[in-house]
């Protein structure tokens, strides 16, 4: 099918890499981290890229998912898959509760409110040490098992995370190419016009916030079982910014762009040792530079450049007329 051509190519690469290089650290370990980050970036891209909102607190939902799995499986010996579902349910409820007051806000205010939410969740994880383990974290988290097989090697984890990662991309592609997806983009394009077309924009924004939070929760549960250990550090403000950077770098409003952003930003620290001390500095720089020089994102920027070069070779192509946009609003 034409619509999913890109997806099939990407899925084939994801499937082939570990078959070709089963013992390569970069493929099975870094690769698995990339695939996990893809879930987060693709989910957040629905909220930021498509619906045009901003969240600086998404690491909190990643954390709630991770801690739900960690606490329920270690302290209550709940089945890991059930724990994952409970985590998703919890995030569903919390995201809905938070969305109500928060999503009335826009722009900077929304950014600040989500930032505050992320910080509060992180403080709770640190302070409530009786069940969260506090700053030391929680260890001995059992691994996942599927049909009686324990997911206990890097290669198996790669496969497990790849499955959910590909599913996340497919879900995102399906949504965007539907009534629900157009609703998101309409809210971004003109909230007033969207309402005039009958879109309940408050509900739309709430739903996509909750959905992207649930993507993060799923990633969090996988992360907890894969690492067998969680601590509040992994779910702080810094990581929220990192996910946003993936979305922005990859190009807002492009699922593959978000995938691309996740790949680049996961690989960078792995390849550049100097990164360790200056991680936040470099993410900040990428965010700023990206916003200023490539507001459409690196992915879109590069694909457009490539297209221009190709078009040049095959002769001049008709130039689209310049957009005549009226920026001011009828208010």
- What residue ranges bind another protein (CB under 8 A)? 171, 174-175, 177-183, 185-186, 188-190, 192-201, 207-208, 211, 253, 320-326, 328-331
Residue pair 78/23 in contact (Cβ under 8 Å)? The answer is no
When the beta carbons of 99 and 121 are compared against another protein, the nearer one is: 99
What is the nearest approach in angstroms of another protein to the Cβ of residue 331? 7
Q: Is 138 helix (H, G, I), strand (E, B) or coil?
A: strand
The CA distance from 160 to 35, in Å, is 10
Where do runs of H (alpha helix) occur along the chain? 5-20, 25, 31-45, 58-74, 80-102, 107-127, 129-132, 154-176, 179-189, 191-196, 201-227, 237-250, 255-271, 275-293, 298-313
The CA distance from 204 to 252, in Å, is 18
What is the nearest approach in angstroms of another protein to the Cβ of residue 92? 12
When the beta carbons of 27 and 46 are compared against another protein, the nearer one is: 46
Tell me how crowded residue 70 is: count the other CB atoms within 10 A of its CB: 32
What is the nearest approach in angstroms of another protein to the Cβ of residue 114? 20
**Beta carbons within 8 Å of 313's beta carbon, 6+ residues apart:** none
When the beta carbons of 55 and 212 are compared against another protein, the nearer one is: 212
Within 13 Å, how many C-alpha atoms sit on residue 223's CB side? Answer: 30
When the beta carbons of 271 and 326 are compared against another protein, the nearer one is: 326
What is the nearest approach in angstroms of another protein to the Cβ of residue 229? 32
When the beta carbons of 181 and 236 are compared against another protein, the nearer one is: 181
The CA distance from 223 to 61, in Å, is 12
When the beta carbons of 162 and 175 are compared against another protein, the nearer one is: 175
> Which 8-state DSSP code applies to residue 190?
-
What is the nearest approach in angstroms of another protein to the Cβ of residue 330? 5
The CA distance from 117 to 106, in Å, is 15
What is the nearest approach in angstroms of another protein to the Cβ of residue 186? 5
> Which 8-state DSSP code applies to residue 192?
H
What is the nearest approach in angstroms of another protein to the Cβ of residue 180? 4
When the beta carbons of 207 and 266 are compared against another protein, the nearer one is: 207
What is the nearest approach in angstroms of another protein to the Cβ of residue 228? 30
CA-based nearest residue to 25, from 154, 157, 172: 154
The CA distance from 276 to 267, in Å, is 13
Q: Is 198 helix (H, G, I), strand (E, B) or coil?
A: coil
When the beta carbons of 86 and 175 are compared against another protein, the nearer one is: 175
**Beta carbons within 8 Å of 1's beta carbon, 6+ residues apart:** none
When the beta carbons of 136 and 177 are compared against another protein, the nearer one is: 177
């Amino acid at each position: 099918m034409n619509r999913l051509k890109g997806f099939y190519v990407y899925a084939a690469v994801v499937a082939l890499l570990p078959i070709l290089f089963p013992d390569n650290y970069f493929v099975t370990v870094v690769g698995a981290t990339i695939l996990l980050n893809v879930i987060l970036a693709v989910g957040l891209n629905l909220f930021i890229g498509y619906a045009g909102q901003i969240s600086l607190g998404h690491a909190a939902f990643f954390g709630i998912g991770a801690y739900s799995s960690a606490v329920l499986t270690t302290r209550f010996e709940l089945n890991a898959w059930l724990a994952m579902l409970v985590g998703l349910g919890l995030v569903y409820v919390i995201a809905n509760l938070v969305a109500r007051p928060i999503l009335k806000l826009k722009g900077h205010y929304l950014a600040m409110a989500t930032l505050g939410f992320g910080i509060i969740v992180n403080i709770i994880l640190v302070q409530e040490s009786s069940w969260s383990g506090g700053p030391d974290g929680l260890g001995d988290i059992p691994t996942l098992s599927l049909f009686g097989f324990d997911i206990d090697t890097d290669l198996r984890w790669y496969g497990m995370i790849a499955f959910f990662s590909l599913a996340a991309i497919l879900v995102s592609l399906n949504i965007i190419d539907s009534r629900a997806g157009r609703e998101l983009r309409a809210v971004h394009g003109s909230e007033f016009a969207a309402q005039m077309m009958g879109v309940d924009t408050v509900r739309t924004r709430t739903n996509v916030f909750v959905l992207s939070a649930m993507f993060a929760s799923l990633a969090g549960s996988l992360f907890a079982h894969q690492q067998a250990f969680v601590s509040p550090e992994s779910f702080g403000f810094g990581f929220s910014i990192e996910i946003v950077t993936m979305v922005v770098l990859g190009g807002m409003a492009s699922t593959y762009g978000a995938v691309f952003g996740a790949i680049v930003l996961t690989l960078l620290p792995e390849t550049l040792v100097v990164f360790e001390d200056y991680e936040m500095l470099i993410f900040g720089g990428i965010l700023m530079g990206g916003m200023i020089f490539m507001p459409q994102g690196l992915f879109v920027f590069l694909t457009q450049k490539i297209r221009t070069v190709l078009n040049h070779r095959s002769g001049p192509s008709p130039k689209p007329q310049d957009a005549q946009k009226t920026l001011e609003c009828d208010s």
